[in-house]
Amino acid sequence: MEALRIESTHKTPRVILDPENGIFEFSGRSIPEDSVGFYTPIFEWLDKYAQQPLPLTHVRFDLEYFNTSSSKNILEILKRLEAIHAAGHEVRVTWYYDEDDEDMEETGQDYQALLNLPIELSVKVQS
């Protein structure tokens, strides 16, 4: 299975889905013009990955900001990861937030509450 790499733009996040190493990353902003058009290929890729996932998948969300339409799409991504986890393939999600951004921290807590998936909240280390 081929990796999916989408470079970031000023309104869409960088996405790296690497099936060889089981490392997934979403970083940047998400206020796409067409959120369904942007996220659908990601859902399709994850559905294929779910058929033969690695025993351990690391997922990193390091988002700057996103709108509510994107937050729903992120929930859909997490639900797919939850299904992989429920099928016995470990998935570890880390949700990064800026220490000054309590809204981003709360969003991570919302996902923790809605899903049966290990989501670790972690303060970003300033570079």
Partner 1 sequence: MDALQSSLLHQSALSYAYPLYRNLLDNSIVFLYHGPITPDLVVDILSLVENRLDDTGEDRRISKKLFNIMVESFSLGEDVERGHAVLLVRQLPYLYTVAIGRRIASSAVYQVKAFLDWVNTLSPEALREAYQRQLEKDDPRNLSLVGGVPAISILDLARKSHGILNYNFEYLNDSDTFFSLEARLQKTI
Applying CB under 8 A, does 11 fall inside the site for partner 1? yes
Rule CB under 8 A: choose which of 4, 19, 24, 29 binds partner 1: 29
In the complex with partner 1, which residue's Cβ is closer, 39 or 89? 39
- Token pair, residue 47, equals 């559905």
CB 102 within 8 A of CB 115: no
User: How far lies 85's CA from each of 32, 37, 72, 114, 116, in Å?
Assistant: 28, 26, 20, 15, 9
Q: Could you say whether residue 53 binds partner 1 (CB under 8 A)?
A: no
Of the residues 18, 27, 60, 71, which one makes contact with partner 1 according to CB under 8 A: 71
Kindly list the distances between the CA atom of residue 54 and the CA atoms of 60, 107, 109, 123, in Å, as whole numbers in the listed order. Answer: 16, 27, 26, 27
* Residues at the site binding partner 1, with contacts judged by CB under 8 A: 10-11, 29, 31-33, 35-36, 39, 65-69, 71-73, 75-76, 98, 100-104, 106, 110, 113-114
